[in-house]
Each structure stands twice: as structure tokens, then as C-alpha cells.
Amino acid sequence: MRPFILSETNWKAVKDQKFELAVLPWGATEAHNFHLPYSTDNIMAEKVAAESAQKAWDKGLKVIVLPLIPFGVNTGQLDIKLDINLNPSTQYAILNDIADILSRHGINKFLILNGHGGNDFKQMIRELGSKYPDMFICTCNWYQSFETSDYFENGGGHADEMETSIMQYISPEFVRPLKEAGIGAGKNFRIKGLNEKWAWAERKWSKVTADTGIGDPGKSTPEKGEKCFKEVIRKVGDLMINLCETGINDMYE
């Protein structure tokens, strides 16, 4: 039983405990090429949340990790079998209900730990901030806490070398042999500004990739995954520590 994981702890331990920071890991349920499980984003976000919170807890800081939300925004994958879409407006409603409970119980710092590229909580946090002015709400995409090229030869972003290597390290029992994986070839837009990323449109996933992957997983190894994952825990752990240690009225220097 880890006292900083709400789904594992109990009322006896929680009722008189003052918590400084609540962390909500948020993933997605979606196809990840032929070799990774639908819950890839969930498994990784939950593990990053738990191991980072452990670092803060070990320093005596009171962080509590809430149960992960397993469905994300998959509006670009509605035709891919059993990708489960949660609309952004539904996500806002969920966040609003959770923020309400946290504020009732005096937990005024709230970190949404995101593990899925289709989720974007920034605008929701702006709106929630105006509803809960006494709370400090922030979000972090754990997969942006490091430079991909420092650890991996091939990028991509979905069921790619990074995701595959980390899954080979943290959950090898759910990873199929690499020879079963597709090559993760992703098509670009015909429109220059969209490829240069200063213009944006949602990609229709089934038109962009044949195997649902974007990024070649062929050079993945658990050793690469371990190196990268440990850096992620160092970075996200420090983020949680800094959030716990910094007063809500003392955020700027």
C-alpha cells in the first residue's frame, strides 16, 4: 500500500492527512500499431505519476495521486476500432467535478499529468482558474520533459521508438515482438504551413497511417527506455517537489 496513491490507501490514512498537491494522470484508450496495447498511454502516465510522486513523498511532501482517467480525446480516430473518444467538453466537466472536490477538502494545488497527444488541458485550466481562484491548476505532458533525439534514433510520436522502448522497460508483458510491428509510416499534409506546425489541423488518423503507428519502432530497446524513463521521473518528480514546496501566493520571483 503506497500512502500517496489514492486507489491503494484508505480512509484511516487519508482522513486527517493534509495534502499539498493532487495529481491526476490522464491517458487514452487507442490502437498503438500492432505491437503495443490500447492502454499504452494509460500504463505510462500512471507509472510516471506514481514514481514521480514517490520522489516527493520520500522528501516528506504530501502529494496524492488520483486514479487515472483512461479515455482521452480521439476525435481524429473515430473510425479506428474501439478507440474510445472523450470529447473536450466532457473532459472539462470531469475536471470541474474533481476541482470542486479538491477545493472542498482544502487541496489547492492540482496537476493534470497528461500522457496523450490529443488531450489539451490548457484552455480548460484557464476556465477552471476563473471558477476556482484559490486553486493553482497546471498541466504537464510528461513526454515533452526530455529531448527525444537524446535517447532515440527515430521520432514520430505514436507507438514510436520512444513509446515502444519505455513500454519494453516498464511493461514488457504487454509488448509484442518487434517483428510483428508495422513500420509506422506517417503521411504529411499537402499544405506547407500545417507541416511547419505554425498552422494546425487535426490529422485524420486512418488517412495518415496504415498501421495506426507514427514513427518506426524498429530500433526500440528496453535499455533506451530505461534511460529515458529515469530522466522523466527525475524531471516530473522535481516538478511535483517544486509544486509542493512553492506557496500559492509565492509563485513568481
Cell 528496453 sits at which residue?
A: 222
Smallest distance, Zn ion to C-beta of residue 248, A:
33
Exposure string of 172-188, with b = 16+ CB inside 10 Å and e = fewer, is eebbeeeeebbebebee
Alpha-carbon dihedral of residues 65, 73, 39, 228, nearest 10 degrees?
Answer: -70
CB nearer to Zn ion: pick between 40 and 52: 40
CB nearer to Zn ion: pick between 41 and 216: 41
Smallest distance, Zn ion to C-beta of residue 93, A:
24
Residue nearest Zn ion (C-beta atom):
41
Binding site for Zn ion (CB under 5 A): 40-41
Smallest distance, Zn ion to C-beta of residue 172, A:
17
Smallest distance, Zn ion to C-beta of residue 32, A:
6
CB nearer to Zn ion: pick between 41 and 83: 41
CB nearer to Zn ion: pick between 184 and 237: 184
d(CA 245, CA 144): 23
Question: What contacts 118, CB < 8 A, 6 or more positions away?
Answer: 28, 72, 73, 74, 75, 76
